[in-house]
Structure 1
Amino acid sequence: MKIKKTACLYAALLISMGSGAALAEKAVRQETLVVTATKTEKEADGLTASVDVITAEDIKMMGASTLKNIMEKTPGLTLQYGQFAHASSKSKSTISIRGMGGNGTLLLIDGRRIAGETQSTYEMDRIPAGMIERIEIVKGPMSTLYGSDALGGVINIITKKAGREKFAMDMDVSTGMNDQGDSESYKAGVNARGRVGKLGYSLYTNYNKTRPYTETETYSSKALNPKTSMPVTSDPQHGETGEVDVSYRDASEVFSTGISLDADLTDALSAQAGLNYFEENREGTYTGGFKKARPGQTPSAVMVLDTPVDSQDDNKRIDADTSIKYKFTDTLTGRIGAYRSEYEKRNKTRAKNFTATTNTKFSADVDITGYEGEATWAATSDHLLVGGAEYREISRDSAAINPDPTSYEFVNDTQRFKAAYLQDEWQITQDLNAIFGARYDDMSDADNKATFKAGLAKQFSSMFKIRVNYAEGYRAPDTAELYVVAPTPGDIPRIGAEAVYGTKTTVHELNPEFLRSYELGIGGDYQRFNYEVVLFYNDVSDKIEIERVDVDNDGSDDYQTYVNKPDVDIKGVELNLGYDFGHGVTADFNWTELSTEDGETGEDLLYNPDRTFSIGVDYQVTQTLCLSLTARHIGSQYKSQTEKVGSYQLVDISFLKHFGSKQQYELYGGVNNILDESVDKSLGSNTGPYMFAGMRVHF
């Protein structure tokens, strides 16, 4: 096909422009102030933890329309599929950092939790790139500042806010599709910000629409007795075979809008408030399990597995937050804040091959309410203390956690967290600094936890900086792991630890995960070159994983459930290199080696690639034109205890062109996966070469 030949020639041209720079990293990094790792503004180079920052300029070069487009191109992150307890899991992704899984990654927007699905499985596709100012990624446990869920790390999405200018506006429209015209997407967004006297404001509105990408799959249904898991061979659905177009990218419409206000009320007092809203329609076709009634027959109902189903979501969320900040003295500042996030999910799942009642069990109402108080005190010229207290309540109402699996009535599960924390940033000498932190969490449905961290950073010269870090983290079991009964995904039901269904006749306890992490980083820069090498070791106790259970020892598994793995070892090495070749050419190289092992069985954890690396080359052709090439290698990984998925490589190209008298117009575009690399379906599949183009206007 012509487009493929053109794309390959374009890629070859870009590589030649890179002057053989394929094995280096992006130009010397600029000093960046980050807030997520310490809750204070601090230069990234002075931190003891690993922090990556994705800027608005980086996002522009990607041509990203959603958070997913950004995350899948970010080194050191793994997008995992099939984790969601619903047939639609094939189209839902979650982020894993350093082998800790999607539940171990805490996703924040402006430092706040948001209500939604467990593991944030929908958020990748619903958060528009146009609202993002930058993304701060902290790798390693951050429970001493953020509590539960921050085992693997924290991803903090920082949205665009009012600046000092009186008025500014950005408008962005784009579209894309693969080389067959499938998986079309359309995006339009506008962001306006400014300041009137002491009042600053920022408003945004975004609209994303996608058409589905499907792949034809064969299915072979099984009808099972829900109580015994024995085949019901007399049912006409048992042994039913055929083909179905399975959605690996949903058809969707997502509308989001929001406003943020800040005011300098006095020289010492400032206030902030925000309100955000989105609504989403999403639908697709999948293969999964569905209950079929059999009036007057024995058994009176069967569970039909591996049968085509249609799923439709109508979701809404509203988020509100406010905070007040007061500067008591030159050395003491206090802040109090509150936030509320309300999420309404309405799911309808229908069987395609037989008549049955529409399944609405996976509908839910999720509310998160949080109150925070925090103080920052420069106790001496060498010590900066941050301390605070937090109360957080997470309420979930859903039929999916109803102890009666046949009922569609909502029941409630509420988790409450009370916490206090203290952190000391100690500047020991001009070139040596340390950080110490501690937190205590009082939880309503798990044992209380204390976590600690300690880190040290020493700069011997610009070429040689060393840091060591020890941090602890924990995660309480979530609602799905405890209570959800899901006939999908997979060939057998997924049943929560404290749920009883079919052949699972007893409950078992799930303890919180607990992590001790050790990290050593060495890095520096010299003229146009910079580097960093990071070694990390995660010692995990009671890691929560899926386990298949054969009740009657007949060689056929009857269900899968969540269990604690007493001892899991995760270790790895990360290498980052960067070089500025001059003449507008910069390059980056990122390499990660990862080893995960269940201490009891010696087996690897699932969906963790053993090796990933990426190569990026940017070429500033002229003052107004930039070209970019990115190549990624994702290594082999286990999708079951015995099946391993091979490695694959993806190559993307893009351009960004400024024009206009004030360069207020930007034209961008590119081709992702120009070499048409296929990806195993258990890893999310791939649409093939994907072309995109768009325009931005800045006022």
Structure 2
Amino acid sequence: MKLFTVFLSAASILGSLVASAQSGTIMGKVTDSYGHPVELAAISLPQLKMGMSADSLGYYRITGVPNGHWKIQSTSMGYKSWLGHVDVSDSVVVIHDIVLEASKASLNEVVVSGTMKEVSKLDSPVPVEVYTSKFFRANPTPSVFDALQNINGVRPQLNCNVCSTGDIHINGLEGPYTMILIDGMPIVSGLSTVYGLSGIPQSLIERVEIVKGPASTLYGSEAVGGLINIITKNPSTAPVLSADVFSTSWAEVNADLAAKFKVGEKAHSLVGVNYFNYQNPVDNDNDGFTDITLQNRISVFNKWSFQRKENRVLSMAARYVYEDRWGGQMNWNRSYRGGDEVYGESIYTKRWEYFGTYQLPFKENITFMFSANGHDQNSVYGTTLYNANQYVGFGQLSWNKQIKRHDLLAGLAYRYTYYDDNTPATRSFEEPGRNKVSHTNLPGVFVQDEITLNENNKVLLGLRYDYNSLHGSILTPRINYKWNSPDKNNVLRLSIGNGYRVANVFTEDHAALTGSRDVVFVTELKPETSWNGNVNFVKKIFMSNGGMVGLDATGFYTYFDNKIIADYDTDANKIIYDNLSGHAVSKGISLNVDIALPNGLKFLLGGTAMDVYSKQGGTKIRQLFTEQFTGVWNVGYAFRSLGLTVDYTGNLYGPMRLPLLSDADPRRENSPWWSIQNIQLTKSAGKGLEIFGGVKNLLNWTPNKGNPFIIARAHDPFDKNVVFDNNGQAVVTAENPYGLTFDPSYVFGPNQGIRGFLGIRYNLYK
């Protein structure tokens, strides 16, 4: 019956095409050697510069194909490239099915993050993890920030129980050590690290590349712990129309819409909109505060691709985000904003971005990358006003040349940052009442040589010099070595590199603004420096029944000088910032296991064990908010005869050290083991339509379990009933038996319990 339905559909399409006397059409299905559909396989006619991607069931259709005998090519991650021929004539539909063979080189997709140039993942001397849009669809979320929760060694960390701000930790290092790139450009940094990952439409994401370990040699400051590069879809190969809409039983609504269109013969444009709305205050832990932040967010994205002469491409994109979020006491409304009657944290964010890449029309491979962004934040945390503006301009010229065994990359970069706020960070002591706006100029030059010693050995040498207008000269070298077995089923990578970071506390650490603690700077903060060593081993095992097992193991060690640590322990009423006089270390091991069986069952399992601490005066102190173990899993099974897929995803975290306010504070000093688990069913309804639904947080875990409370003195957020001694310390009284002040910084996991979700996903291909 299914074959008959496909035949009728093909016949119907054929009849309509003949009747309207349109140009020729090529259509078919892409499968693997077992007959399983290959989702999102790329199909192209290279002589005509035409192409598209297969839908979720492997079907494709290319219309408007001129008469003739043409080459047809198909590629997909994990498969060998396929090349064939097809004859096309007017008003005829050619049914051309494609069978792809699994590649013994395994995941040989192109990556750019490790070396700043296109190279296959297998050949890259720098280990790069790649996660496609299909991976993220196994657990749909309203933002990229939430989507990263099921990647091994990467953890979205919430920093405030009230307004749900957060950052991304890689291998235990805090968010400011992670650089966020969009299409290879440093778009999300500084002020936007708190909110910048919200509102990137997931319908526009082609893949996410992650480099764990220092990347400052190529990307400069902030890439100390690693980088996350969000690659957006190519307008020329994206679906004509796509939609991804879902809602939850908590009344959250998220919609991702995208459409592409063609202008002339050589210009393609992709437009996307993300809308997220949550306006349902919930207080399941009965502390009088909203469990999660209420949000109203819209993001608009537009990307253009222009095909120039000699196949040189000009790509440009722009994004605008507006968000209104608040959290606080359940009876808060806008009339209380900034007052001390009802506590609330309210943030209005306006953000714009513009970036692009142009390959210059020279014989040499010279590329110019540029970006500019502005971030305007109008926020109130109780009675504390924080208004800030940041503008960043970036330009980079890079040259790539291959000379025999040497693959050279050199470049010039310049980054300008304007920053102004109403905090002591920009206060002018020479002219009281006026701000001293921060202007940072950061020119840099880098060079890299990737040397192919032979078919099995490569060495990469890199060096970068930056001149920070506030802190002077900074030099960051690195060296990488890669060995692979002749069959390329075993790969060993070794690396060592230097990194640096210039800190801005108020833009990076939300705890400096919220709660009743005073912020204290002991001295002027100096740039942090670090050295990192990394060993990575990858092994692919191909089973006789057609299954595959992939192992990816990594050991890492990072040593910090001048590390800036927020001290919550010395004084319960203060957060003290200073450069560490000793040193800090982040070390550990991680393992990813990828299993794909021919019956459609897939496992992606990961675990990371780490030790992150500082040492000063002979005393070792574990870093706050850092687990010693994390595990993730993604288990999927496809019932092909039913068009039904089941995905079971989850994570597991070990105990973290948490900030207490006093010796009498009854909350746990360390968090318990905790886990967030989700299940999803996806039903294919044909012609690019999917219906999906499931349950998030199956265990209904929230951080208040086992704790008398999470937010300290939630009933007295302005400390009106707290008695202080002469040293400013809270005094134990009958009304305040633990001697606490209001503090929402005791947070280590999401505060949203179990909920159901239901959505639809649609992709229309031409």
Per the alignment, residue 473 of structure 1 pairs with 499
Aligned equivalents of 1:633, 1:485: Cα separation in 2: 25
CA drift at 1:254: 1.1
- The one-letter amino acid paired with 2:247 is T
In 1, the alpha carbon distance for the partners of 2:107 and 2:563 equals 38
Aligned to 1:173: 245
**Residues 135 and 521 of structure 1, relative CA distance in 2, 3 Å threshold:** same
Structure 2 SS opposite 1:645: coil
Cα distance in 2 for partners of 1:327, 1:256 equals 34
Are 1:328 and 2:362 counterparts? yes
Separation in 2, partners of 1:157, 1:96: 16
Whether contact under 8 Å (1:183, 1:212) holds in the other structure is yes
Q: 1:413 to 1:186 in 2, by over 3 A?
A: same
Q: Distance in 1 between matches of 2:449 and 2:281?
A: 50
d(CA) in 1 for partners of 2:572, 2:387: 31
Q: 1:597 to 1:665 in 2, by over 3 A?
A: same
Match of 1:354 in 2: none
Alignment of 1:219-230 (within 5 A): none
Who is 2:418 aligned against?
395
Q: Provide structure 2 residue ranges, at least 5 long, that are not aligned to the other structure.
A: 1-77, 79-101, 331-337, 543-547, 664-668, 705-709, 711-746
Q: Say yes or no: does 1:264 pair with 2:307.
A: yes
Choose between structure 1 and 2 for higher RCO, CA contacts under 8 A separated by at least 6 residues: 1
Shift of 1:479: 5.2
Q: 2:222 aligns with which of 112, 129, 149?
A: 149
- The reply to whether residue 576 of structure 1 matches residue 576 of structure 2 is no
Mapping for residues 528-539 of structure 1, pairs under 5 Å = 528-539=548-559
User: Cα–Cα, structure 1 residues 211 and 51, in superposed 2: closer, same or farther, change >3 Å?
Assistant: farther
Look up the match of 1:120. 193
User: What residue identity is the alignment partner of 2:152?
Assistant: P
Match of 1:631 in 2: 650
- Deviation by residue 1:364-387 (Cα, 9 ceiling, x = unmatched): 11100112111111122x221111
| Equivalent residue number for residue 611 of structure 1 | 629
- Paired position in structure 1 for 2:564: 544
Q: For residues 93-130 of structure 1, what are the alpha-carbon distances to aligned partners after superposition, in whole Å with 9 as ceiling and x for unaligned? A: 11111122111011111122236654711134332322
**Which residues of 2 match residues 41-60 of structure 1 at below 5 A?**
41-60=118-137
The one-letter code sitting in structure 2 at the alignment partner of 1:518 is G
Tell me the equivalent position of 2:116: 39
Letter of the 2:351 counterpart: R
Tell me whether 1:441 sits opposite 2:466 in the alignment.
yes
Matched, 1:694 2:709: no
Q: In 1, Cα distance between the equivalents of 2:530 and 2:511?
A: 29
Task: Give 1:49 shift.
Answer: 2.9
- Kindly provide the amino acid, as one letter, of the partner of residue 350 in structure 2: K
**SS at structure 1 position matched to 2:419:** strand
> Does residue 421 of the first structure (1) align with residue 446 of the second (2)?
yes
C-alpha deviation, 1:213, in angstroms: 5.4
Secondary structure in 1 matching 2:325 = strand
**Is the contact made by 1:82 and 1:489 (CA closer than 8 Å) also made in structure 2?**
no
Runs (5+) with no aligned partner, structure 1? 1-25, 219-242, 288-302, 352-358, 498-506
**Cα offset, 1:168, TM superposition:** 1.3
**Identity level (%):** 21
SS in 2 for 1:649: strand
CA shift digits 1:266-290 (9 cap, x unpaired): 1164322222212111122169xxx
> Which residue is equivalent to 1:518?
533
Name the CA shift for 1:117/1:520 in 2 (closer, same or farther; >3 Å).
closer
TM-aligned CA deviation for residue 487 of structure 1:
6.9
Instruction: Report the Cα distance in structure 2 between the residues aligned to 1:595 and 1:119, rounded to whole angstroms.
Output: 28
Instruction: Note the C-alpha offset of 1:402.
Output: 4.4
Give the corresponding residue for 1:371: 395
User: How does 1:4-83 map onto structure 2 within 5 Å?
Assistant: 30-82=107-159
Secondary structure of the residue aligned to 1:638 is coil
- The answer to whether the 8 Å contact 1:486/1:493 transfers is no
TM-score, normalization: structure 1? 0.79
Q: Distance in 1 between matches of 2:560 and 2:554?
A: 19
In the alignment, the residues of structure 1 paired with residue 637 and residue 455 of structure 2 have an alpha-carbon distance, to the nearest angstrom, of: 37
Pair 1:535–1:668, CA change in 2 (3 A) = same
Instruction: Give the match's secondary structure for 2:536.
Output: strand
Does the 8 Å CA contact 2:155/2:168 hold for their aligned counterparts? Answer: yes
Query: CA offsets per residue over residues 397-426 of structure 1, 9 Å max, x none?
Result: 211234379998654112211100011122
Q: Alignment partner of 2:597: what SS? A: strand
- Structure 1 stretch displaced more, 340-349 or 189-198: 189-198
Shift of 1:62: 1.8
C-alpha deviation, 1:578, in angstroms: 2.0
Give, as a single letter, the amino acid of the residue that structure 1 aligns with 2:623. Answer: L
Q: Tell me what 2:64 maps to.
A: none
Q: Deviations for 1:177-230, whole angstroms, at most 9, x for unmatched residues?
A: 3xxxx3623324233255641112211122111235544778xxxxxxxxxxxx
Distance in structure 1 (CA, Å) of the matches to 2:572 and 2:293: 33
Q: What one-letter code is carried by the residue in structure 1 that aligns with 2:646?
A: L
2:696 pairs with 1:672: yes
What letter corresponds to residue 394 of structure 1 in structure 2? T
Q: Distance in 1 between matches of 2:141 and 2:615?
A: 40
- Whichever residue aligns with residue 754 of structure 2, its letter is P
Shift in CA distance, 95/486, structure 1 to aligned 2, threshold 3 Å: closer
CA distance in 2, matches of 1:557, 1:49: 44
Provide closer, same or farther for how the CA distance between residues 68 and 374 of structure 1 changes in structure 2, counting only shifts above 3 A.
same
- Equivalent residues in 2 for 1:588-667 (5 A)? 588-600=604-616, 601-622=619-640, 624-640=643-659, 643-660=669-686, 663-667=687-691
Q: TM-score scaled by structure 2?
A: 0.73
8 Å Cα contact 1:78-1:608 kept in structure 2: no
SS of 2:309's partner is coil
CA distance in 1, matches of 2:313, 2:438: 37
CA displacement at 1:257 relative to structure 2: 1.2
Q: CA deviation at 1:427?
A: 1.6
Is contact 2:681–2:692 with CA below 8 Å preserved after alignment?
Answer: yes
Q: Write out per-residue CA displacement over residues 630-671 of structure 1, whole angstroms, 9 at most, x where no aligned residue.
A: 2321111111389211111222111222222xx311112221
Q: CA deviation at 1:549?
A: 7.6
Aligned residues: 596
1:344 partner amino acid: D
Q: Shift of residue 322 of structure 1?
A: 3.6
**Displacement of 1:36:** 1.0
Cα distance between partner residues in 1 of 2:397 and 2:380? 41
Q: What is the alpha-carbon distance in structure 2 between the residues aligned to residue 274 and residue 589 of structure 1?
A: 35
Q: For the residues of structure 2 that align with 1:487 and 1:424, how far apart are their CA atoms? A: 42
Alpha-carbon distance between aligned partners in 2 of 1:194 and 1:61, rounded to the nearest angstrom:
31
Secondary structure of the residue aligned to 2:580 is strand
Q: Give the whole-Å Cα distance in 1 for the aligned partners of 2:188 and 2:646.
A: 38
Contact 1:115–1:366 under 8 Å retained in 2 = no
Aligned partners of 2:591, 2:240: CA distance in 1, in Å? Answer: 39
Structure 1's 668 and 413: CA in aligned 2 closer, same or farther, altered over 3 A?
A: same
Choose between structure 1 and 2: higher strand proportion: 1
The Cα of 1:73 is off from its aligned counterpart by 2.0
CA positional deviation for 1:153: 0.4
Instruction: Letter of the 1:336 partner, please give it.
Output: F
Q: Secondary structure at the match of 1:71?
A: helix
CA RMSD of aligned residues (A): 3.0
Q: Report 1:309-324 matches (<5 A).
A: 309-324=343-358
Question: Cα distance, 1:625 vs. partner?
Answer: 2.0
Q: CA deviation at 1:135?
A: 0.8
Q: Per-residue CA shift, 1:583-606, capped at 9, x if unaligned?
A: 111112111000112122211111
Instruction: Confirm or deny that 1:343 pairs with 2:375.
Output: yes
